[in-house]
Amino acid sequence: MHVLKNLKRKDIPAPGESLAPGPKGLVLPLGRLHEIVPGGLFHLGTAAGFALALAARRTGHVVWIQQELAALEGGAPYGPGGALFGLDASRLLLVQAKTAKDALWAMEEASRTSGIAAVIGELAGAGEAADLTATRRLNLAMEERGALGLLLRQQPLSGTSACATRWRVAAAPGRGDGLGGIGRTAFAVTLEKNRSGPCGDYLLEWNDDERCFAAHPVAVAAPAAIRPHRAA
């Protein structure tokens, strides 16, 4: 289990550097496309929230481009809901595309537009249209202005892509506030693919007040040889 340092808004680096400074393996390079998939059928909303949290940390507008079928299957983003992650509704631009190819084209154009800091593209199903060739084109587009590209697939893709990282995201219970209130928003994430470092499992909790992520240890079973009850 890797430990992630608090990621605060003042730590946001310039385009072209890592978005999430921390230990090796928890770096999200800008000017690249990153893939996010839900950890299961009922975790699409969690995956969408994780994408929004990553995008909201950037300075500038965030464009959420959604395939029409994706909206029918998973619902459309609710602008005021971004306030939880420090994203004012005035910074969020929602675009609905007829087909997956239209959504990918819109992602390219948005990433080349001045003032756009992050682009989220949500595709229905596994988003087969975002194949190796299409994701290579998107990577090139993101590089031009150092935009953060997030490709949200509603289901995992069985093929390959040119995405720099792939994150599988599921809901996790957050720690309570000690007063019996609702716990903080938490994400159980698995970094399945990482071109610039190791992969691994992480538990990330969103701090509403500080607008940052924090990591907490996850219990992992010790090797059988060193467990006390196996000492004999």
Share of the chain above pLDDT 70, in %: 79
pLDDT at residue 8 in the model: 39
List the domain range (segments joined by +) for residue 155: 9-217
CB 208 within 8 A of CB 3: no
pLDDT bracket for residue 221 (50, 70, 90):
very low
pLDDT at residue 26 in the model: 66
Domain for residue 224, yes or no?
A: no
Domain for residue 3, yes or no?
A: no
pLDDT at residue 120 in the model: 97
Domain for residue 227, yes or no?
A: no
Residue type, 197: G
- Between residues 19 and 198, the one the model is more confident about: 198
**Residues 19-69 pLDDT 10s:** 344 444 467 888 999 999 999 889 999 999 999 988 888 888 999 999 999
Is pTM beyond 0.95? Reply is no
Domain for residue 2, yes or no?
A: no
**Residues 129-181 pLDDT 10s:** 999 999 999 999 999 988 999 999 999 988 889 999 999 999 988 777 777 77
State the CATH number of the domain containing residue 105.
Answer: 3.40.50.300
Domain for residue 177, yes or no?
A: yes
pLDDT at residue 16 in the model: 37
Number of domains in the chain: 1
What are the CA-CA distances from residue 63 to residues 73, 205, 223 (Å)? 20, 24, 46
CB 65 within 8 A of CB 188: no
